[in-house]
Amino acid sequence: MRKSVLAALAIAIAAPGLALAQAKEQFVPANFYWVGPYAPGGSGFGGGIIDYMAMINERDGGVNGVKLTWEKCETEYNNARGVECYERSKGKGPTGATVVHPLSTGITYSLIDKATADHIPVISMGYGRTSAADGRVFPYIFPLITTYWSQATVMVKYMGQKSGGMDKLKGKKIVLVYHDSAYGKEPIPVLTEMSKEYGYQLTTIAVPHPGNEQQSQWLQVRQIKPDYVILWGWGVMNPTALKAAAKIGYPRDKIIGVWWSGAEEDVLPAGSAATGFISAGFNAPGTEFPVMKDIQKYVYAKGKGEFEDKSRFGSIYHTRGVVAGIVTVEAIRLAQAKYGKGKPITGEQMRWGIEHLNIDDKRLKELGATGLMPTIKVSCNDHEGSGLVKFQQWDGAKWKVLTDWMEPDRKLVRSMVEADASQYAKEKGITPRNCSKDE
Amino acid sequence: MLYREAGQFKSTYAQDQQIFPIRQDRIAIGVLLAFAAIVVPLVGNEYWLSAIITPFLIASLAALGLNILTGYAGQLSLGTAAFMAVGAFMAYNAELRIPGMPIIGSFIIGGVCAAAVGIVFGLPSLRIKGFYLAVATLACQFFVLWAINRVPWFSNHSSSGVITAQKIEILGYDVVSPAGKYLLTLAIVALMALAAKNLMRSETGRAFMAVRDMDVAASVIGIPMMRTKLLAFAISSFYCGVAGALYAFCYLGTVEPEAFTLDLSFRILFMVIIGGVGSILGSFLGAAFITMFPIFLNRASEWVAGVFAVEIPGAIVSNLEAMIFGGLIIFFLIVEPNGLARLWQIAKEKLRLWPFPH
């Protein structure tokens, strides 16, 4: 309260300086979801990114003195509401929305055209349109760190490793249990393509949204007796699947989940049925990373922070949000270095920043995020930037990391990305950028 | 209203049968249309045009379609979203596969395909009524989404089943700006609303209402049951199909089959119920209430937080919004079970006597 009185006084006295004072802000919309069936994901991820930005403001006074600001908008994981939030937020702050994290594959799809026309970058970290990784066709869309297709190839690799070599996959039976939506269908082309190479038998079983009824699907699994099950679930579908698997006695450590199946919220409701379940991930949970300690010290210790339930601090969704915050702030920092330190940047400048993002091991150490996220190097051509995936296992109380960062099958993924992107470009009449010339 | 028909004499049948018999009403509607067509695109910013008004108009069109079927012809349907999906996906395919197809032609093809699906799923209405018919249309909802998901032809073999609407081009002019899309939507919705209004005043519309009020009596006086019911399904689905095409082309730009779930069907049914069953105006009022009010509540909470300098946690805002919205729906239905359109009518009647009521 006293602060706002002081601020009001300051404004009254220095009215001519108002524009200047306002200009030292960088606006990042917080369009997430806090209600509905997917609220655990939305509030966790949103909490992470906001906590990280709050920490940067408290610890460093913003990015080179430019304070980060944000405003929440409830999207309900609904495309129409997501577009409304985007339109509402895009003009705010001195330079408009810097970057948008839609946190929904559907909303990302809806924003591709709009954001490209408005010159506002969209970061769809671990979701969204996979072929947007081709930066020549999608200049403003960044499916950063890793995409569904990369993940699918790493999953096959991991199954090969578990079986004792890729050649051992021949004749093995793999079942994909997926959420029947654009999101769930995403891995099918890649898994089919790889089955030709490695000779495994792929069966796909769809689970209708929202997935709280899966008996018949798992009876089918029991008939097939697969060597591995890939679980491509979201929200309530995950614990239901694990419970159903326990009922038919399918070993949980043969079920490999996508990263949207691998959070505490996905396994806790299944109770002991979840023990042994393995999932992929592009971020690690935990409270011991230096960056998480900083958030604790500068935000939560001062009675702020997004979570009232402190046990969610350091959960998978929370640290995933922190990773999103790191990527966002690092790109802002980079763009400032080029376009003027201590000045708010525009969406176009932010695009340059994200496209030149290069977080190596050294930088990760400085950020206090070693092990929290993989290294990442984005380019005009490659808007994914990393593709690395880790595997983790639920031991009944917490997620234990099983592997180091694993490489995807870049050649396969890239060729499919380019094929899909060029079809999109043809449909929409887009001429791909020439990346060898582009700055 | 404050004015009445006193002194306005009708000397021909055409004059007597006008939609708005009172001159003041005609002027008011003309001013409203002119305002919507000229002032709104000039004054409205991108946010208002593309995130509030355009979706409202599209929802109105879908509600209008359902109102023709449910409100006028008395056939309860839960397949609205499926008809919209057919419209959206077929308009996309028409634009994709027929070279040089004008966009309005694609919208019409989308609508006609939806009408065909509507006729097929309207067949059970010849035998069953009420809630049982609702269940039959529910089958349509699930079947259509299943088909779009399973048959890759509909989404042009896109791996995720998502389609991206093509550019809108009318007479060589690219419609890309929100204002352009808004005007296109407005023109289509206004024309179709006018057509619906006149349809309901025609013999066909009266046959619909006769079927609604008592189908045995209607067939006794010589109204062909099959033709009338199937026509109602066809016209209603055509409206929904065009609404779906607009939803894809003028609003979201990219749609996945999941955008047209049962949830959307219910929302449109609520628009009809809250706006007024069997009323053209009601479709618009209901759509306005259901699409705009949650956004208004959301923004109001921002404003409250700003004025009183308190920070309201995001989760509470979101939950409050749902609670207030639900509460208001119940309130309106208790105060006026016949919907917002009826409230408007009552207000008009009261104003006729104002300030000297009996």
Residue range of the domain that includes A330: 22-146+286-377
- Give the best residue of B92, B155, B159 to mutate against chain A (max A CB count within 10 A): B159
> Is B48 a domain residue?
yes
DSSP-assigned beta bridge partners for residue A393: A278, A400
What chain B residue is nearest to A1 in terms of C-alpha separation?
B309
Based on the fold, state whether residues A244 and A300 are members of the same structural domain: no
> Is B284 a domain residue?
no
Based on the fold, state whether residues A157 and A277 are members of the same structural domain: yes
Based on the fold, state whether residues A183 and A215 are members of the same structural domain: yes
Asked if pLDDT for residue B331 goes beyond 90, the answer is no
pTM: 0.87
Is the Cβ pair B258, A113 closer than 8 Å? no
> Is B119 a domain residue?
yes
Strand A228-232 to A173-179 pairing? parallel
Mean pLDDT of chain A: 88
Show the tokens assigned to B91: 């308009």
Tell me how far the alpha carbon of residue B247 is from its chain's centroid: 11
- Chain length of chain A: 439
CATH code of the domain containing A72: 3.40.50.2300
Residue B32 to residue B40: CA distance in whole angstroms: 10
> Is B133 a domain residue?
yes
Based on the fold, state whether residues A338 and A360 are members of the same structural domain: yes
Based on the fold, state whether residues A275 and A401 are members of the same structural domain: yes
Q: Note the pLDDT tens digit of each residue in A58-96.
A: 999 999 999 999 988 888 888 888 999 999 898 888 888
Are A334 and A357 spatial neighbours (Cβ–Cβ below 8 Å)?
A: yes
What chain A residue is nearest to B160 in terms of C-alpha separation?
A182
Residues 6+ apart with CB under 8 A from A433: A135, A136, A137, A139, A380
> Is B102 a domain residue?
yes
Distance from CA of B159 to the nearest CA of A (A): 6
Based on the fold, state whether residues A67 and A142 are members of the same structural domain: yes
Residue A157 confidence class, pLDDT cut points 50, 70, 90: very high
**What is the structure's pLDDT at A2?**
45
Q: Note the pLDDT tens digit of each residue in A336-345.
A: 999 988 899 9
Is the Cβ pair A88, B51 closer than 8 Å? yes
Provide the residue type at A182 as one letter: A
> Is A58 a domain residue?
yes
**Rounded average pLDDT over A94-116:** 90
Reported as half-sphere exposure (CB side, CA atoms, 13 A), residue A237 has a value of 24
Q: State how many domains chain A has.
A: 2
Distance from CA of A182 to the nearest CA of B (A): 4
* Residue B20 CA: distances (Å) to CA of A48, B4, B24, B289, B350: 57, 12, 9, 25, 19
Are B242 and B187 spatial neighbours (Cβ–Cβ below 8 Å)?
A: no
Based on the fold, state whether residues A155 and A271 are members of the same structural domain: yes
- Give the best residue of A51, A71, A74, A413 to mutate against chain B (max B CB count within 10 A): A74
Based on the fold, state whether residues A229 and A290 are members of the same structural domain: no
Residue range of the domain that includes B167: 20-259
Detail the DSSP E strand segments found in chain B. 163-164, 168-170, 173-175, 254-255
Based on the fold, state whether residues A111 and A209 are members of the same structural domain: no
**What is the structure's pLDDT at A23?**
66
DSSP-assigned beta bridge partners for residue A370: A373
Query: B-chain residues within 8 Å CB-CB of A32?
Result: 314
> Is B352 a domain residue?
no
Show the tokens assigned to A217: 């699907």
Based on the fold, state whether residues A131 and A153 are members of the same structural domain: no
> Is A6 a domain residue?
no
Provide the residue type at A135 as one letter: G
Q: Note the pLDDT tens digit of each residue in A402-423.
A: 999 999 999 999 999 999 899 8
Residue B84 to residue B111: CA distance in whole angstroms: 9
Q: Identify the contact set of chain B against chain A, taking CB-CB distances under 8 A.
A: 45-47, 50-52, 55, 96, 149, 156, 159-162, 164, 166-167, 176, 251-254, 256-259, 261, 294-295, 298, 302, 309, 313-315, 317-319, 321-322
> Is B316 a domain residue?
no
Based on the fold, state whether residues A153 and A273 are members of the same structural domain: yes
Based on the fold, state whether residues A89 and A222 are members of the same structural domain: no
Asked if pLDDT for residue B354 goes beyond 70, the answer is yes
Asked if pLDDT for residue A22 goes beyond 60, the answer is no
Query: A-chain residues within 8 Å CB-CB of B160?
Result: 105, 129, 182-183, 185-186
Residue B17 to residue B272: CA distance in whole angstroms: 26
Cα distance between the two ends of chain A: 47
Residues 6+ apart with CB under 8 A from A241: A177, A207, A211, A214, A218, A231, A233, A255, A261
Residue B210 to residue B202: CA distance in whole angstroms: 12
Query: What value, to the nearest 5°, has the Cα angle with vertex B23 and ends B22 and B24?
Result: 95
Secondary structure (DSSP) of B242-293: HHHHHIIIIIISEE-GGGG-HHHHHHHHHHHHHH-TT-HHHHHHHHHHHHHH
Q: State how many domains chain B has.
A: 1
Residues 6+ apart with CB under 8 A from B198: B19
Q: Is the dihedral of CA B81, B82, B88, B91 positive or negative?
A: negative
Asked if pLDDT for residue A266 goes beyond 50, the answer is yes
> Is A127 a domain residue?
yes
> Is B188 a domain residue?
yes
Secondary structure (DSSP) of A173-191: EEEEEEESSHHHHTTHHHH
Residue B271 to residue B289: CA distance in whole angstroms: 8
Asked if pLDDT for residue A236 goes beyond 70, the answer is yes
Nearest CB to B160; choose among A83, A182, A427: A182
Query: A-chain residues within 8 Å CB-CB of B253?
Result: 110, 112-114
Asked if pLDDT for residue A114 goes beyond 60, the answer is yes
Q: Note the pLDDT tens digit of each residue in B163-219.
A: 888 888 888 788 888 899 999 999 999 999 999 999 999 999 999 999 999 989 999
Residues 6+ apart with CB under 8 A from A273: A239, A242, A243, A245, A246, A252
Are A221 and A250 spatial neighbours (Cβ–Cβ below 8 Å)?
A: yes
